[in-house]
Amino acid sequence: MSRTPLIAGNWKMYKTIPEAVETVEQLKEAIKDVSSREVVIAPSFVCLFPVAEVIRRSNIALAAQNVFWEDEGAYTGEISPAMLRSGGCTYTIIGHSERRQYFGETNESVNKKSKKSLEGGLKVIVCIGESLEEREKKNTFSILRTQIEGGLRGLTADQMREVVIAYEPIWAIGTGKTATADQAEEVHQFIRNQIGEKQGKELSEKTRILYGGSVKPDNIDELMAKKNIDGVLVGGASLKVESFARIVKFLF
């Protein structure tokens, strides 16, 4: 497969600076021999720079968990793509369901943030996913279609090459209920088809689609065996070195 697997850890609002530094020092050692897959860590904003210092010249890349869509200005509390790059980030997560749920993130804001980040040289991990209610009403595909169309509207083919999509069904996040590998694969195939309709088959075949939601050492191998699952976005299990290292070292 031509798509390099991407294993990303979203630390959410966990870990102080000393805790983050200690974790990433241990992780760096634990996965130092891994080369055929890309590993990304997304600590909180204050931990970005100290973590960047630890992972310099390692096989771990850095992501932010959010970003704002202006270059600079009177936007108290916000952080621009250029600031993130200067802090060592190569990626930012955008549109996580927790940001949609608690902080008013919409497909429109996801779109503005994605455009600005890509213009500023940051790669983006755009999160999409349906709620339990939406799934039960059989609205999964229409919700995802709207999130993809709205979130990625107007991106050029070159920009799309720097986009990673993370499918995170809300009902599987932090609940211990993973989508089965077959359920995830079905949705990933749908997402790839959607991208293909908009951007053409070649680009859709190159786009990496991650699964997120209760990914653990004991389900990673099954998920990664699926054709359209190109990696994972891990919450809880990324906080501990042992479990995250095992996920990074998933078996083919």
Q: How many residues bind ligand 13P (CB under 6 A)?
A: 14
Residue 94 Cβ, how far from ligand 13P at the closest point, in Å? 12
Q: Is residue 202 flagged as an active site residue? A: no
- Cα 69 to Cα 83, 101, 108, 160, distances in angstroms: 12, 19, 11, 17
Of 23-31, 68-76, 116-124, 230-238: span binding ligand 13P (CB under 6 A):
230-238
Using rule CB under 6 A, residue 215 touches ligand 13P:
yes
Reported as half-sphere exposure (CB side, CA atoms, 13 A), residue 199 has a value of 24
Using rule CB under 6 A, residue 61 touches ligand 13P:
no
Using rule CB under 6 A, residue 10 touches ligand 13P:
yes
Q: Give the three-class secondary structure for 248.
A: helix
Residue 194 Cβ, how far from ligand 13P at the closest point, in Å? 21
Residue 243 Cβ, how far from ligand 13P at the closest point, in Å? 10
Q: In the 3-class helix/strand/coil scheme, how is 146-165 assigned residue by residue?
A: HHHHHHHCCCCHHHHCCEEE
DSSP-assigned states of every residue in 50-79:
HHHHHHTTSSEEEEES---SSSSSS-TT--
CB-nearer residue toward ligand 13P: 140 or 199 = 140
Q: Is residue 168 flagged as an active site residue? A: yes
Q: Which residues contact 53 (CB under 8 A, 6 or more apart)?
A: 88
Residue 179 Cβ, how far from ligand 13P at the closest point, in Å? 11
Only one residue has tokens 């200005």, namely 73
Of the listed 98, 168, 185, 188, which one is catalytic?
A: 168
Of the listed 96, 105, 134, 185, which one is catalytic?
A: 96
Using rule CB under 6 A, residue 243 touches ligand 13P:
no
Using rule CB under 6 A, residue 213 touches ligand 13P:
yes
Which run of H or E residues covers position 81?
Answer: helix 81-86
Q: Which amino acid is at 179?
A: A
User: Would you tell me which residues interact with ligand 13P (CB under 6 A)?
Assistant: 10, 96, 168, 173-174, 212-215, 233-237
